[in-house]
Amino acid sequence: MLRLWLALRTAGETRLAELGQIKKEFQAEEHLLLREELPKLMKRGKVLLLDVRPPIEYQSGHLPGAVSIPSYELENRPDELPKDREIITYCRGEFCLSADESTALLRKHGFKAMRLEGGWPEWAVEGRPTEAGRQK
């Protein structure tokens, strides 16, 4: 089902030029981390992964080691995050604005933050490692 959804989204992107323009308007490329770069940073312990999707989505599957703080709670919970590590946000994919908005909010609060290219769907479909269950 996930592969079908991504294929439909890709087909829409190729047929509707407006989607590319929307993505450019909302995503700040200077604050975008490519998926290929994340494993190296995680291995060095240099980043904190922040899943900003609702808890039920986090519980059904998330990137290894990710912390869950839904985007709608982030404004009230920044003190739970470390200031000494870069924070990488992610959500439902390329067009999910929650990761972009969360990154902007964190940067406003003085955190070093970036948005992960794509999100949970792209990560999972590529066969990269995932975890499921509640946060420890």
Tokens 């470390």 belong to 82
Residue 62: strand pairing partners: 131
Q: Which own/partner contact pairs does 23-30 have at CB distance under 8 Å and 24+ positions apart?
A: 23/94, 23/95, 26/97, 26/100, 27/100, 27/115, 28/100, 28/103, 28/104, 28/115
* Pair of tokens at residue 63: 């990137």
**Annotated catalytic residue within 91, 106, 113, 114:** 91
Tokens 């990137």 belong to 63
Asked about 96 being catalytic, the answer comes back as: no
Question: Mind telling me the catalytic residues?
Answer: 91
